């Protein structure tokens, strides 16, 4: 079970939050392999041209998934981190806004792009990444995560956009 490789840290990053830490999963060769294999298995036999991974844990997982699916990888990053021309998408946070960017030529029109990240919570970051990819002409048929926190509504938010949401495990609460 993938849950055996995930560490739970109470009161991080603030009191009342039970943080689900995947660094223990990434550090364990069996756990890491199980996670990547599980994420890949969701998409066996499906056309995927590229995998987009959200900074930073999505890079680790998404790169490994892209390798296994024999497709390209697109880093979706915070502002100012990419060295060439970028396009960006702003999104709302609990207090304020943030932004994601990718290179202008990272996705071509019509490409099927799988979105990968470690965790889906409220879905704001994933929604921004989807909008960014689709604005460049890519199609996002599915979003895959190691962890779903369904009580926070992210899965419902992405499904309302018509996206298939897949996760290896889920945890109730925040």
The per-residue pLDDT for range 40-61, each reduced to its tens digit, is: 999 999 999 999 999 999 999 9
Q: Which of 7, 47, 94, 127 is catalytic?
A: 94
Whether 57 is catalytic is: yes
3-state secondary structure of 136: coil
pTM above 0.85, yes or no: yes
3-state secondary structure of 64: helix
pLDDT at position 172: 87
Q: Which of 57, 89, 111, 127 is catalytic?
A: 57
How far, in Å, CA of 33 to CA of 5, rounded?
Answer: 11
Q: Which domains does the chain have, with CATH numbers?
A: 2-77+105-170 (3.40.50.2020)
Q: Looking at the predicted structure, is the pLDDT value of residue 173 above 80?
A: no
Q: Kindly tell me the burial class for residue 52, based on how many C-beta atoms sit within 10 Å of its own C-beta (0-12, 13-18, 19 or more).
A: buried
SS3 content of the chain, % helix, strand, coil (to 5): 35, 35, 35
């Amino acid at each position: 079970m993938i849950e055996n490789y995930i560490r739970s840290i109470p009161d991080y990053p603030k009191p009342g939050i039970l943080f689900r830490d995947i660094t223990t999963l990434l550090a364990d060769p069996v756990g890491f392999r199980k996670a990547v294999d599980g994420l890949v298995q969701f998409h066996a036999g499906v056309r995927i041209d590229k995998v987009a991974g959200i900074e930073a844990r999505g890079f680790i997982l998404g790169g490994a998934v892209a390798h296994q699916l024999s497709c390209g990888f697109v880093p979706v990053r915070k502002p100012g981190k990419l060295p060439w021309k970028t396009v960006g998408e702003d999104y709302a946070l609990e207090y304020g806004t943030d932004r994601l960017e990718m290179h202008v030529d990272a996705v071509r029109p019509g490409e099927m792009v799988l979105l990968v990240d470690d965790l889906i919570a409220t879905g704001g970051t994933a929604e921004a990444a989807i909008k960014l990819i689709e604005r460049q002409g890519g199609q996002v048929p599915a979003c895959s995560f190691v962890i779903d926190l369904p009580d926070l509504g992210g899965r419902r938010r992405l499904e309302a956009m018509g996206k298939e949401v897949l996760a290896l495990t889920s945890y109730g609460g925040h």
